[in-house]
Structure 1
């Protein structure tokens, strides 16, 4: 009896197989024409996500699951890369709020300069940082700025709003700016420099400059002139609060794990949809991040997004540290690269075409969007060159000692500097030195007779070169930014270029 059942089962399966095969071969009909194979789908397709199966173009259950798992994963990766500006701005907001700057009347000041305890994307150690967050949800806000600063306002999606100070419309004298909220249609009084932001929340920071007094003049200017208040309160502005956060340990860098999507979700919930790209907001909605809805992925989706964040982070990190874009490098056969690929602060490779890798490259590595850092402005603003590898293309190693030669007549009207960063955090490398940097403001720096400068980087100072040395950490990878404040023409026409990182003998 068992044998008979087996025979019947096999026979039934064979009959079904024959019936299926016959069903797959459709008869020729009166309207039948030749169909190009390129517009059809085979019954079996081998792909990187496995074998996909169809019945005359209709996916089976296993294929459907594979495809949707893959689609959710792809959108998770794309959301990680494309929404990074918002995540970065949100992490800044949370970071400064943790130190008390959670309202329009509080400014954080690095009165004794920023050191490596504070986690910021590629900051410098040579200017006085002033940090705040301005919110216009309660109406237009007046922002009175101090003189002699380099300042920028970016919105909650890290889109450029305006400059103030040395490259701003106040012409470095300080001024009264009026920041209008999204969609504002009310009266705009005279006497203000008017800026319109697409978001309610706005990231604001400015850098004061050292002089003979050290940091004192810049700090005093901020405390004397910086004021923020609602336009409605112009007749009786509230008192400002200034908090010295020098040497404080706090984080302003976005997450690289599942929490990243929670950071982005806060921006989506708080800001109007009109503030950002419909395409990217659609990507976010497809993974559960949509305005007015809770972001509560189920176990399956959270697992997918956790992997998507890991791959998104790996992608962004690779784009920065091992770029494949020719326009990234400043010189032939050189490690030096620019943060603004193509020279556009909007990351446009041509009119109307945004370069997504260039955008990711910048936002994973740096912060602060302004034309002043991307466009040619001789003697104004700042310019940057970064390096992650030595002259042989090998990653910079904290256990080794390197030498860099800067040729004569370094083209910086104000100052130049090297600052070393941790590959993991992209923030300052934490060493035994308070400031992992050196430059023209280092009064003890040895300058060669022809005005060229040699700088050493390594775990211990080479004998006789202690004043021109920046410490690194064995076991840690690192990278460096060369900054030129007040860049001069030889920088832009490339008749002057920095040397490469050479292993010291």
Structure 2
């Protein structure tokens, strides 16, 4: 054998492979070029450091470096691929912390959602009522739904299960729903809209119309919404309502080791087939296995903490500079306006392929999944446009003043609103304004002579534009969502479009 240090490879002058053909044999030479393409040098410089080998065999230090990298990479994938599960679990824990710790304890925004409550891109224009359904503890649940609701059910991984209310089987008339857990094998009684759920932990998300005012909408929910176990249907316990308007608490996913601890708790409760083998394999690779103790050592805890930070940063890169199709609303221009659902796809899957960037793009920034939120019907429902960057594709600066121009005849059947969000929490921006929202329902909002509108963003209101101004904070960034309720055809066909958000010179 001859060692060639300048190539960093241990080779032989003639590398032979014995072939047997009858009683004879021949040697076939392997070229140096072929060997280079399949071998590895003794020293390799990589982004994770110098890797060293003895004739292709990694040294102990290199093995440790590579396994650290492998475990960290897998943990980053777990962080990104399970944002939905982590988000729903964070919402459940956050609300439990203020007393909403059972299926029949419903949080409600009696005075609308305010910035003190950290919810991913919640809005200040509609009445929310939501609860976390624990079918593991309480078994099959009955939901007596009031009329006029708009809602849906999502499972523990924040995947859509069914619609409720106006877009559900009760068609807005209200009625009794029976929610069955994954292991249910009993009778299915008549008189209910039956929904079979694939997980034990689930979210019920409701919105009430405030077209006739907020108090009547609140009363409709509080007087008629009932949630109780089927086993107690003969004498159901009372449904409790917890007003979260103005309450200070968080429902936002963490970016540290606790992310994986919380995810493990969920995995231990849910059926093993709640997720597929590939995702279970990712979890198992970092020590999260149903029925087994999750007890990472000091090394692994450090890697998982690093992965949470990298995963969080990656989700932000996907948010601010998406590189997948179907995110930009006006892809033929350099517009910054985007949509939360790439290609308006709420399952994030098409042609048998999961879009691995589209999924965290949504779940890192928003909650509540139903196809109704991504399907445009002229004059009905709602649609959303998000601006994370200004007209020059720069981050918004809270110390500067910006302007959004909405051309005449904003195409809506109901109303429109512009709302500001904090780039750190992706929740309502906390300023001196009670609600960081302006729009067609805002008192005193000014319309231009030609029927168009201007919205201003900045630390101080431009003179005479106080009613059309949203306050920003020097030293902080922000982003905004334009919501259109009952969008009309010019919006859907893109013949009407908002301006880019321009710095005011």
Normalising by the residue count of structure 1, what TM-score does the alignment of the two structures yield?
0.91
Residues 382-413 of structure 1: per-residue CA shift (max 9 Å, x gap): 21110011111111111111111111222222
Q: Does 1:399 align with 2:387?
A: no
Q: Which stretch of the first structure deviates more once superposed, 25-34 or 483-492?
A: 25-34
Aligned equivalent of 2:18: 30
- 1:211–1:217 Cα contact (<8 Å) kept: no
Kindly report the root-mean-square deviation, in angstroms, between the aligned alpha carbons of the 2 structures: 2.2
The structure-2 alpha-carbon separation of the partners of 1:88 and 1:397, relative to structure 1 and needing over 3 Å to count, comes to same
Q: State the distance in 2 between where 1:21 and 1:472 align.
A: 60
Q: Which stretch of the first structure deviates more once superposed, 215-224 or 53-62?
A: 53-62
| Correspondences of 1:57-72 after superposition (within 5 Å) | 57-72=56-71
Q: State the distance in 2 between where 1:63 and 1:25 align.
A: 28
SS in structure 2 of the partner of residue 228 of structure 1: strand
Residues 259-301 of structure 1: per-residue CA shift (max 9 Å, x gap): 2112211211111121113212211111111112222211111
Residues 434-465 of structure 1: per-residue CA shift (max 9 Å, x gap): 10111122132112344321111111111111
Q: State the distance in 2 between where 1:399 and 1:27 align.
A: 69
Q: State the distance in 2 between where 1:118 and 1:341 align.
A: 27
Q: State the distance in 2 between where 1:462 and 1:253 align.
A: 34
The structure-2 alpha-carbon separation of the partners of 1:29 and 1:428, relative to structure 1 and needing over 3 Å to count, comes to closer
The structure-2 alpha-carbon separation of the partners of 1:249 and 1:23, relative to structure 1 and needing over 3 Å to count, comes to same
Structure 1 spans left out of the alignment, 5+ residues: 1-13
Q: Which stretch of the first structure deviates more once superposed, 337-346 or 290-299?
A: 290-299
Normalising by the residue count of structure 2, what TM-score does the alignment of the two structures yield?
0.91
- 1:126–1:209 Cα contact (<8 Å) kept: no
SS in structure 2 of the partner of residue 427 of structure 1: coil
Q: State the distance in 2 between where 1:264 and 1:22 align.
A: 47
Aligned equivalent of 1:191: 191
Aligned equivalent of 1:448: 448
Aligned equivalent of 1:282: 281
Q: State the distance in 1 between where 2:464 and 2:234 align.
A: 61
Aligned equivalent of 1:6: none
- 1:344–1:375 Cα contact (<8 Å) kept: no
Q: State the distance in 2 between where 1:279 and 1:103 align.
A: 32
Q: State the distance in 1 between where 2:361 and 2:354 align.
A: 13
Q: State the distance in 1 between where 2:487 and 2:378 align.
A: 6
| Correspondences of 1:116-195 after superposition (within 5 Å) | 116-137=115-136, 138-195=138-195
Aligned equivalent of 2:334: 333
Q: State the distance in 2 between where 1:338 and 1:377 align.
A: 16
TM-aligned CA deviation for residue 326 of structure 1: 4.2
Q: State the distance in 2 between where 1:277 and 1:38 align.
A: 39
TM-aligned CA deviation for residue 159 of structure 1: 0.8
- 2:373–2:381 Cα contact (<8 Å) kept: yes
The structure-2 alpha-carbon separation of the partners of 1:229 and 1:448, relative to structure 1 and needing over 3 Å to count, comes to same
SS in structure 2 of the partner of residue 327 of structure 1: coil
SS in structure 1 of the partner of residue 118 of structure 2: coil
The structure-2 alpha-carbon separation of the partners of 1:24 and 1:298, relative to structure 1 and needing over 3 Å to count, comes to farther
TM-aligned CA deviation for residue 39 of structure 1: 7.0
TM-aligned CA deviation for residue 29 of structure 1: 4.8
Q: State the distance in 2 between where 1:267 and 1:56 align.
A: 45
Aligned equivalent of 1:88: 87
- 2:423–2:477 Cα contact (<8 Å) kept: yes
SS in structure 2 of the partner of residue 238 of structure 1: coil
Q: State the distance in 2 between where 1:21 and 1:180 align.
A: 63
| Correspondences of 1:317-396 after superposition (within 5 Å) | 317-331=316-330, 332-348=333-349, 350-396=350-396
Q: Which stretch of the first structure deviates more once superposed, 189-198 or 474-483?
A: 189-198
The structure-2 alpha-carbon separation of the partners of 1:447 and 1:168, relative to structure 1 and needing over 3 Å to count, comes to farther
The structure-2 alpha-carbon separation of the partners of 1:203 and 1:462, relative to structure 1 and needing over 3 Å to count, comes to same
Structure 2 spans left out of the alignment, 5+ residues: 20-26
- 1:119–1:250 Cα contact (<8 Å) kept: yes
The structure-2 alpha-carbon separation of the partners of 1:34 and 1:356, relative to structure 1 and needing over 3 Å to count, comes to farther
Count, aligned residues: 487
- 1:121–1:426 Cα contact (<8 Å) kept: yes
- 1:96–1:131 Cα contact (<8 Å) kept: no
TM-aligned CA deviation for residue 421 of structure 1: 0.2
TM-aligned CA deviation for residue 186 of structure 1: 2.3
TM-aligned CA deviation for residue 107 of structure 1: 0.9
The structure-2 alpha-carbon separation of the partners of 1:22 and 1:183, relative to structure 1 and needing over 3 Å to count, comes to closer
Q: Does 1:204 align with 2:204?
A: yes
Q: State the distance in 2 between where 1:325 and 1:211 align.
A: 38
Residues 200-241 of structure 1: per-residue CA shift (max 9 Å, x gap): 0111221223234x3111110111211111222222221111
The structure-2 alpha-carbon separation of the partners of 1:249 and 1:24, relative to structure 1 and needing over 3 Å to count, comes to farther
TM-aligned CA deviation for residue 38 of structure 1: 7.5
Q: State the distance in 1 between where 2:488 and 2:249 align.
A: 35
Residues 452-496 of structure 1: per-residue CA shift (max 9 Å, x gap): 211111111111111111111111100001111222222221111
Q: Does 1:473 align with 2:461?
A: no
- 1:167–1:380 Cα contact (<8 Å) kept: no
TM-aligned CA deviation for residue 340 of structure 1: 0.4
The structure-2 alpha-carbon separation of the partners of 1:163 and 1:41, relative to structure 1 and needing over 3 Å to count, comes to same
Q: Does 1:103 align with 2:91?
A: no
The structure-2 alpha-carbon separation of the partners of 1:85 and 1:21, relative to structure 1 and needing over 3 Å to count, comes to closer
Q: State the distance in 2 between where 1:27 and 1:476 align.
A: 64
Aligned equivalent of 2:23: none
- 2:389–2:396 Cα contact (<8 Å) kept: yes
The structure-2 alpha-carbon separation of the partners of 1:41 and 1:183, relative to structure 1 and needing over 3 Å to count, comes to farther
The structure-2 alpha-carbon separation of the partners of 1:363 and 1:22, relative to structure 1 and needing over 3 Å to count, comes to closer
SS in structure 1 of the partner of residue 485 of structure 2: strand
- 1:166–1:381 Cα contact (<8 Å) kept: no
